[in-house]
């Protein structure tokens, strides 16, 4: 096993400045680069990488934050389920603060509703065992990265014959929303998500190259990874190439994790459409539980109480939708850092640790 020294190998200031010089030397044209994943946005802002590239390169922040893209009506589903004293809602941390139509899971928890935050989906098992007389409803979110964990949890529930666990599936895929916003956003190249690619493989971005003629470089999350990814994009333009390239070779392969993919396919399938906050309904962009496991599907088991399925607009002062579509940036929002702050977010982009507004607010002094 290779020992990695992140400070020496991926945060070394001399190597960072060398990459910066190479990018400035070789970039001969304007390039709008969308970093799809919010993790990359945070790296860019935290380390001030946007200040180390030439003015003709512009970072555009993409819809790769799973909490940010959750529409209000899906949060309302969870809140509605939480009103029944026989239900315990289980979810991951960031989602609890995302605003719904008139509340949030955090506010409902403060009002006494049984809502639990877990660090691992498998914590749901112990909660179910400790509360055999309750319905345990796991609100599953995330891109291809976290979907295998939910599939594994489903397998565990079936294997152990646990009768009181249900799943509200909100897992989504990266390629469909990116393709959905391409008409409105002026994007020349992509930095591909790291962890998504570990599971799904770099192959899922080939359509970006084939259809839109945009280079894609799958990069790691460290500052040298990101700048190396930018340099590889610059080099592709300089050499007249357009292809999917893997910078993050220490973790990503072309085909991805086949075992994880098979686990997903065993229990989940692509749903006809999924609604994305700020973008709208996108065909074939999310997962649902397969029909043979419908008895685990909270949307079907509790369908009689899901009365809110119409689109619900964000706060009128919030521009998260435009940010997620790559049209605007956080500083373009009049509410940013004023009426919208992490402690009192108007929109989901300020809530999540992967949200671009959160990144801009947290690292706003980095210049």
pLDDT value, residue 92: 86
Q: Is residue 315 part of a domain?
A: no
241, 345: one domain = no
287, 332: one domain = no
Q: Is residue 314 part of a domain?
A: no
Kindly state the helix (H) or strand (E) to which residue 142 belongs, with its residue range.
strand 135-142
In percent, the amount of the chain with pLDDT more than 90 equals 77
Share the mean pLDDT of the chain. 92
273, 301: one domain = yes
Q: Is residue 367 part of a domain?
A: no
Contact between residue 357 and residue 40 where contact means Cβ atoms under 8 Å apart: no
β-pair type (115-118, 280-283): unpaired
340, 256: one domain = no
CATH assignment of the domain containing 149: 3.40.50.11740
Q: What is the pTM of this model?
A: 0.92
Q: Which of 73, 67, 80, 70 is nearest to 137 (CA)?
A: 80
Is 187 a residue whose pLDDT tops 80?
A: yes
Q: Is residue 231 part of a domain?
A: yes
* Total domains present in the chain: 2
In this structure, of 18-22, 202-206, 271-275, 354-358, the range with the lowest mean pLDDT score is: 354-358
Identify the domain boundary among 309, 330, 348.
Answer: 309
pLDDT value, residue 354: 83
Structure confidence by residue, pLDDT tens digits, 124-177: 999 999 999 999 999 999 999 999 999 999 999 999 999 999 999 999 999 999
130, 232: one domain = yes
Give residue for tokens 């521009």. 319
Identify the domain boundary among 268, 283, 309.
Answer: 309
Burial of 32 (0-12, 13-18, 19+ CB in 10 A): middle
Work out the average pLDDT over 221-239.
97
94, 243: one domain = yes
262, 332: one domain = no
pLDDT value, residue 22: 98
281, 327: one domain = no
53, 199: one domain = yes
Range of the domain at 241: 1-309
Identify the domain boundary among 285, 309, 333.
Answer: 309
In this structure, of 115-119, 271-275, 305-309, 340-344, the range with the lowest mean pLDDT score is: 305-309
Contact between residue 203 and residue 311 where contact means Cβ atoms under 8 Å apart: no
184, 39: one domain = yes
Confidence of residue 230 (pLDDT cuts 50, 70, 90): very high
Compute φ and ψ for 4, nearest 5 degrees. -110, 125
135, 207: one domain = yes
pLDDT value, residue 317: 84
3-state secondary structure (DSSP) of residue 255: coil
Work out the average pLDDT over 192-200.
97
254, 324: one domain = no
CA–CA separation, 144 vs 206, rounded Å?
16
Structure confidence by residue, pLDDT tens digits, 295-348: 999 999 998 876 566 666 777 888 988 888 888 999 999 999 999 998 888 888
């Amino acid at each position: 096993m290779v020992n990695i020294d992140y400070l020496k190998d991926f945060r070394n200031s001399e190597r960072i400045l060398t990459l910066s010089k190479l990018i400035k030397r070789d970039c001969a044209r304007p390039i709008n680069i969308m970093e799809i994943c919010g993790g990359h946005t945070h790296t860019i802002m935290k380390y001030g990488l946007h200040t180390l590239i030439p003015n003709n390169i512009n970072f555009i922040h993409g819809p790769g934050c799973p909490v940010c893209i959750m529409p209000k009506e899906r949060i309302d589903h969870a809140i509605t389920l939480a009103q029944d004293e026989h239900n315990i809602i289980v979810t991951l941390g960031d989602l609890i603060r995302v605003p719904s139509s008139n509340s949030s899971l955090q506010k409902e928890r403060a009002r006494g509703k049984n809502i639990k935050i877990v660090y691992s989906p498998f914590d749901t098992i112990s909660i179910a065992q400790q509360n055999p007389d309750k319905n345990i409803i796991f609100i599953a979110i995330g891109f291809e990265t976290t979907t295998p964990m939910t599939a594994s949890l489903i397998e565990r529930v079936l294997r152990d014959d646990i009768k009181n666990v249900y799943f509200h599936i909100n897992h989504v895929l990266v390629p469909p929303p990116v393709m959905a916003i391409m008409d409105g956003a002026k994007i020349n190249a992509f930095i591909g998500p790291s962890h998504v690619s570990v599971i799904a493989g770099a192959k899922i971005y080939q359509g970006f190259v084939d259809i839109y003629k945009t280079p894609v470089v799958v990069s790691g999350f460290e500052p040298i990874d990101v700048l190396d990814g930018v340099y590889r994009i610059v080099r592709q333009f300089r050499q007249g190439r357009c292809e999917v390239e893997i910078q993050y070779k220490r973790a990503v392969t072309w085909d991805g994790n086949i075992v994880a993919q098979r686990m997903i396919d065993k229990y989940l399938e692509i749903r006809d459409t999924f609604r994305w906050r700020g973008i709208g309904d996108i065909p074939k962009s999310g997962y649902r539980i397969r029909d043979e496991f419908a008895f685990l599907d909270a949307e079907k088991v509790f369908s009689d109480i899901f009365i809110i399925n119409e689109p619900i607009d964000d706060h009128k002062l919030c521009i998260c939708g435009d940010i997620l579509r790559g049209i605007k940036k956080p500083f373009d929002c009049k509410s940013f850092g004023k009426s919208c702050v992490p402690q009192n977010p108007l929109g989901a982009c300020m809530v999540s640790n992967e949200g671009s507004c959160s990144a801009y607010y947290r690292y706003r002094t980095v210049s």
